[in-house]
Structure 1
Amino acid sequence: MAMALHTAPARQNLPLEPNSFVGRERDLSDLLRLLQVNRAVTLCGVGGIGKTRLALRVAAHATSMFTDGVWLVELADARSRKGIVARVATVLGVTEESHRDLADTLADALRRRRLLLVLDNCEHLIEHVAALSRSLLDGCPSVTLLLTSREPARICGEVVWRVPPLTVPPRHEDDDPGGSEAVRLFVARAHAAAPHRRLAPEQLDTVADICRRLDGIPLGIELAAARVRLLSLTQIADRLDGRFQLLTAGERGAPARQRTLRAVIDWSHDLLSEPERILLRRLAVFTSWHLELAERVCADALLPEGEILDAISSLVDRSLVVLTGEYQGRVRYRLLDTIREYAAERLDEAGERPALEGRLRDQMLVLAEELSANAVRGHGIAWPDRFQVWYRVLAEYDNVRAVLGRCAERGDTESGLRLCVAMRPFWMASGHFTEGAFWTDRFLAAGLGDDALRGQAMVRRAELAWDQRDHRHAAEIGECGLRLCRAAGDTASVALALNILAMVDLRAGELDRAAGRLAEVLELTDSVGDPWNEGIARGTLGALAAQRGELAAASEHYDEALVTLRGIDHRWGVGRTLIGQGMVAEAQGDLFGADRCYREALDIQRGIGATPELARCLAGVGRIAARQGATAQAYDYLSESLLLSHGTGQRLGVARGLTAIARIAAAEGDLEEACHLAGAAAAIRERAGAPGLVTPWPAGHAAADPDALAGWLEEGRGLDLDAAVAMALRVTESRQRPRSRPAGGRPPGGARPVLTPREHEIALLIGERMSNRLIAERLFISPTTVARHIANIHTKLGFNSRTQIAAWVSEQNGRHGQAVRS
């Protein structure tokens, strides 16, 4: 889930609780108080003690404390520092920048955010988690961390909370056992397992005895309670007695509570049927799964496919498998970390790990290669079908990551390279350039695999390098891949390589060489019928003509590209091409045409969720609105673009937004503020390693004092990124406020602050009971912009609901009517 902008209401990505939360009332209260005064809290304890469940409960109660939300990042399957950072960035919606460590981009994006970050299951990479935590705590003063781990992170300022077991009844006959947390949990889970079976008051003593034997460990209690469907309480207690006599057969060096939990898991496992035992151990190969995937990977002669649904249902009933919810029409499941470790041991004992991991690898290859084929397939496939596969890969991405890691560990270079080739569209569309480059480089470095496959991987690696703006490497590895693909007769990869190298040539100013490559692409694609690469080549020809100053020719090339890409219903390609065509129309002065291109691209990018492109579209619409004289609308779009780039760590997007806002301010005569913003934008571009503006700043202000302009520009260069964004937002806000009030006028509602014209317009529409979507359609702005204005209205008027705004509007209308009548 992407992170909310800091102007939007608090949001979160916490999963729904699978069942009732029982006990720990005091822990919950104390932890909430700790989070108010401490920025790093770690919940420590043995497996099964309930660290994750408590952290999620605390986070759910803390949403009102953090205006930018609470965000869960699951790290159980992360295997490296890069993996940790990538997972955090993905959850928070931060996208990569070229030539920059993603951790630095992440810190910049969160510098002004007030949020709670929950890092779950940190123990296996605690040093890397600690390093990232220190970076965020040092650079992001309003970010608070809540960690779960079997050991502390040992970072400065960390408060370690040792998660205790649930309270169990003392061994006194006169005490009522029903009030203890452990007994309450057992009773709640027993009722869920057997709703028609009621526990009599006299049975609570037996429940209390069971909970004491289980040391108050929540997972152990849940596993025992799940058995009330088939066993009496006395039977459960007797069987636990027999199991605990064998405690020394477990991990003798483990803490007592860990051995207790191991014993109850052993007991629960022994009570399973043989098909259930087989399935439980085989499920250890997944990070999560849906039924069809489990059937394809886990079924064989020992476990027929037809038995898997019933076995999964039984494991869910016994609290060994957790249902995580429904995604894309499929119910997904996972194993708790402690159960997964146990199941993995059983899988190794059975000698089935290589076979099961091989089946999962094959399934991920089938899925990834379907994605790859759909991404470039020509006619006959609708866009929803193309994009549906992307969502399926997104759901299985942690499984894909696990498979890549296993291929690397076992030297399975061929499968690793095949996955890298197939995953390239996903890595590009999702912004996972660094992760894709890491895995591709790792398998290419192995020096194995046939030349045709290595050539394909090199070409795709060149495309990732292009997106990272590493043009030198894109050229080098792209040329190597091109040679290998030519030799193998892989026409599609040759066309892709030529397209990538042509874009590199454009950036290097080698326009004739780029034109030659693109001519070859068109010849190849015409001979084999490859509309995808043809459309990309025609779009690049448009960029080439624009770079030569041939704007009319550029427009024609973009039109041809759009005809081709629309013909195969490839909206991602259409959206990218429309941005280029809009820039050409803007340069030609065709404001209507440019606006049409940017707005259509905007709709496409919103659907895809491509943040950098979305910000560019918003900025384009804003620039056109300004040139058409719609300053308020221009500021709406430009401020949304600026916030989106800032919130996702895109410095070049921020620089574009600052420059566009500066130009409008300058046109209105506010040269000092305009120069401050322009200077800040220039400094940001330099720090990001981007070239300066083609048109130097300030342009068109020859009458202004050159020394004053230069001084203001220099002052702007001294602003940091956050300060520059804050200044730009103040400018957009102030330029929409009325310059003066009519004589004798006063702010609506007495001394309340004045709303801007746009805010007042939105307030009136709220008074008409219109939703954000309808308001956005009425005013031709985005729902996000509407939400930002509503947040401003709440702040200025001291309200916290739409009902209050509507009532205020009604009151103002009533006052106006009285004034007219008098």
Structure 2
Amino acid sequence: MSLPVTAEPPVLIEEWEVLDLLTSLVDKSLVVYEEDERGVSRYRLLETVRQYAHDHLVASDQSTAARDRHRDWFALYAEQSLVPLCDTGSGWDQVEFEYPNLLAALEWCVAEKNCLDATRRLLMVLSPFWDLHGRVSEGRQVCSQLLAMSKTKQATGTTLALMLEAGNLANLQQDYALGRALLEEALYLGQESRDTFSAASALHYLGHATLMQGDLPVARSYFEQSLRLQQDLGQTAHMPHILLNLGHIARFEQRFDRARGYYDEAIARCREQDPSDHLILAHPFMNLGHVARLTGNFTEAQRCYRESLHRFVDVDARSGIAYNLEGLACLAASMGAYSRAPRLFGAADALRQAIQTPVPPVDRASYADALQATRSTLGDETFEIMWAQGHAMTLEQAVEYALEDGAEP
């Protein structure tokens, strides 16, 4: 027999009463008290109690106000607490734990139309979470579903933010046609609504996608347009990313001194903004490793790759780890350390398969050259054995192998 759900007026309590009431509910086994490894305490309802409370809330006239408060709290929590923690690598477990709440808050942003500010704050955490932790497909599915909902709600601001994220995630999986269509529509919407920040972001993502496909002149044009808009806004937060991408263009054009200058400036800007942000510093160090390798400075290349890899590992940035393993594999091939190269390539390939982000087209030729040189030296049978050994490594084993003390690359 089920009891009818009725809406009753809420009973207001004083702030000082909350802890006593929670303790009482724990004693009655209606609420569970938990403490994580950092000593952070948390209370949660038993699922049956939570569902019962949810039904009462939905039946009341307090549902909208409660979801508004939930959305606003988690948007602020994402920006002020989770983002700083994740920048240093210590917050991703908390993001995983709060993931259902973050998604629920994002969904309510769409349901309530133009909640652009809250949407952006939530995506500040969700976007790198999807990208770095091998959940790009999941992120794409979430954005696709919410985009469809936002268009029916005519939530222009929220639609724009989701469109940018969906386009970026599509490009990460090399779905460039869809990614370009989404980003060009986002650029148009940003320009039409005079949302300069979104327009600049769309241009930046378009530049990165074009760069990864090897169209350097068009990529440079996108980045320069994005830079001008950000300068008009007085924005400096994205400057390291633009410098990094301009460095990529110079590197692919074999203008190595210019590339090194861009990467060095990106590192300086990163340290000015937040010296504790391991992720943003990892990228220029890795690319300085590429430049050093391509110019024959193998000792410097190894130092830069390892510095970068440590930082990627600190924040569990798996896409960055894959790139780094590939860089070290190319370095091993360049130095004639042919027993290491196929293992590192195999480990990187296994990681890319797991996170569903293939090698970008712009990098394939250089990787193919290193693989061919290694295979020709070792012979097919030995190469395949060593590749399989690397492919079978766990992520931890691959990182340990790449960072072995005293090992040649």
TM-score (norm 1): 0.41
Q: For 1:304, give the aligned amino acid.
A: E
Residue correspondence of structure 1 range 168-567 to structure 2 within 5 A: 250-251=1-2, 302-326=12-36, 328-348=38-58, 352-370=62-80, 392-405=94-107, 411-415=111-115, 418-431=117-130, 432=135, 433-450=139-156, 454-567=159-272
**In 2, Cα distance between the equivalents of 1:463 and 1:307?**
46
> 1:104-143 alignment to 2 at 5 Å?
none
1:483/1:406 CA distance change after superposition, 3 Å = closer
Q: CA deviation at 1:366?
A: 2.1
Deviations for 1:226-248, whole angstroms, at most 9, x for unmatched residues? xxxxxxxxxxxxxxxxxxxxxxx
Change (3 A) 1:365 1:347: same
SS of equivalent residue, structure 1 residue 359: helix
State the Cα distance separating 1:546 from its structure 2 match: 2.8
In 2: Cα distance, 1:663 partner to 1:537 partner? 34
Does the aligned pair in 2 maintain the 1:636–1:781 contact within 8 Å?
no
- C-alpha distance after superposition, 1:479-499 (max 9, x if no partner): 332233345544433332221
Specify the SS of the correspondent of 2:2. coil
Q: Does structure 2 conserve the Cα–Cα contact (< 8 Å) formed by 1:642 and 1:658?
A: no
Tell me which residue corresponds to 2:395.
none
CA displacement, residues 711-749 of structure 1 (integer Å, 9 cap, x when unaligned): xxxxxxxxxxxxxxx77235999xxxxxxxxxxxxxxxx
Change (3 A) 1:522 1:351: closer
Shift in Å, 1:630 = 4.6
Aligned to 1:596: 303
Cα distance, 1:623–1:487 mapped onto 2, change above 3 Å: same
Q: What is the SS of the residue equivalent to 1:446?
A: helix
Residue 49 of structure 2 aligns to a residue in which SS?
A: helix
Give the SS at the match of 1:319: coil
Preserved CA contact (<8 Å) 1:437 1:465: no
What is the CA deviation profile of residues 342-387 of structure 1, one whole-angstrom value per residue up to 9, with x for unaligned ones?
3334445665444333321221222234479x6xxxxxxx787776
Total equivalences in the alignment: 386
Amino acid at match of 1:340: R
- Give the Cα–Cα distance (whole angstroms) in 2 for the partners of residues 405 and 344 of structure 1: 17
Q: Secondary structure at the match of 1:323?
A: strand
Q: Which amino acid aligns with 2:249?
A: L
CA 1:383/1:401 → structure 2, altered by over 3 Å: closer, same or farther? closer
Residue pair 1:440, 1:461 contacting (<8 A) in 2 also: no
Task: Tell me the CA shift for residue 673 of structure 1.
Answer: 4.5
CA distance in 2, matches of 1:459, 1:660: 35
Residue 376 of structure 2 corresponds to 666
Between structure 1 and structure 2, the one with the greater Rg is: 1
Q: CA RMSD in A?
A: 4.1
Change (3 A) 1:336 1:658: farther
Spell out, residue by residue over 1:30-78, the C-alpha distance to the aligned partner (whole angstroms, 9 max, x if none): xxxxxxxxxxxxxxxxxxxxxxxxxxxxxxxxxxxxxxxxxxxxxxxxx
Residues 644 and 513 of structure 1, relative CA distance in 2, 3 Å threshold: closer
Q: CA deviation at 1:604?
A: 0.8
**2:174/2:358 contact within 8 Å kept:** no
Q: Partners of 2:13 and 2:334 in 1: how far apart?
A: 68
Structure 1 residue 533: Cα displacement: 1.9
Q: Residues of 1 paired with 2:174 and 2:166: CA distance?
A: 12
| SS at 2:36 equivalent | strand
How far apart are residue 553 of structure 1 and its match? Answer: 2.6
- Deviation, structure 1 residue 539: 1.3
State the 1:658 CA deviation: 9.9
Residue in structure 1 matched with residue 388 of structure 2 by the alignment: 729
Deviation of 1:599 (Å):
0.9
Contact 2:345 2:387 in 1 (8 A): no
Letter in 1 for 2:129: S
TM-score calculated relative to the size of structure 2: 0.77
Task: Confirm or deny: 8 A CA contact 1:427 1:436 kept in the other structure.
Answer: no
CA distance in 2, matches of 1:499, 1:327: 39
CA contact (8 A) 2:90 2:315 kept: no
Deviation string 1:485-521 (CA, Å, 9 cap, x unpaired) is 3455444333322211222333455433322332233
In structure 2, the partner of 1:812 is none
Q: Distance in 2 between matches of 1:640 and 1:332?
A: 38
Report the AA paired with residue 2 of structure 2.
E
Cα distance 1:498–1:386, how it changes in 2: closer, same or farther (>3 A)? farther
Cα pair 1:565 1:573 within 8 Å, conserved: yes
Q: Deviations over 1:175-221 (max 9, x none)?
A: xxxxxxxxxxxxxxxxxxxxxxxxxxxxxxxxxxxxxxxxxxxxxxx
Gaps of 5+ in 2: 393-398
Q: State how far apart, in whole Å, the 1-side matches of 2:98 and 2:389 are.
A: 43
Structure 1 residue 607: deviation in Å?
Answer: 0.7
Measured in 2, the distance between the counterparts of 1:649 and 1:504 equals 17
Secondary structure at the aligned position of 1:413 is classed as coil
Q: CA deviation at 1:453?
A: 5.1
In the TM superposition, what is the alpha-carbon distance from 1:439 to its structure 2 partner?
4.4
Structure 1 residues 455 and 346, CA gap change in structure 2 (3 angstroms): closer
The 1-side partners of 2:190 and 2:18 are apart by: 44
Measured in 2, the distance between the counterparts of 1:639 and 1:579 equals 19
What one-letter code is carried by the residue in structure 1 that aligns with 2:53?
A: A
Q: Compared with structure 1, are the counterparts of its residues 329 and 458 closer, same or farther at alpha carbon in structure 2 (3 Å cutoff)?
A: same
In 1: Cα distance, 2:129 partner to 2:210 partner: 25
Query: Which of 267, 291, 314 is the matching residue for 1:607?
Result: 314
Task: Name the CA distance, whole Å, in 2 between partners of 1:426 and 1:443.
Answer: 21
8 A Cα contact 1:368 1:423, kept in partner: yes
Work out the CA distance in 1 between the residues paired with 2:261 and 2:203: 21
Distance 1:512 1:649, change over 3 A: closer
The one-letter amino acid paired with 1:356 is A
CA distance in 2, matches of 1:509, 1:619: 18
Aligned counterpart, 1:201: none
Native 8 Å contact 1:539 1:557 kept in 2: yes
Runs (5+) with no aligned partner, structure 1: 1-249, 253-277, 283-299, 375-381, 678-725, 734-771, 783-822
Relative to structure 1, the CA distance from residue 349 to residue 413 in structure 2 (aligned partners, 3 Å threshold; closer, same or farther) is: closer
Instruction: State the AA in 2 paired with 1:501.
Output: L
- The 3-state SS of whatever aligns with 2:204 is helix
In the TM superposition, what whole-angstrom CA distance separates every residue of 1:424-479 from its partner, at most 9, and x where no partner exists? 333332224324422442344225235x5544443333323322322223323323
Counterpart Cα distance in 2 of 1:445 and 1:365:
22
C-alpha distance 488-386 of structure 1, shift in aligned 2 (>3 A): farther
AA partner of residue 579 (structure 1): M
Alignment-mate amino acid for residue 266 of structure 2: A
State the identity %.
Answer: 25
Distance 1:350 1:447 in 2: 23
SS of corresponding position for 1:334 = strand
AA aligned to 2:180 is A
Q: 1:453 to 1:321 in 2, by over 3 A?
A: closer
Q: SS of the counterpart of 2:42? A: strand
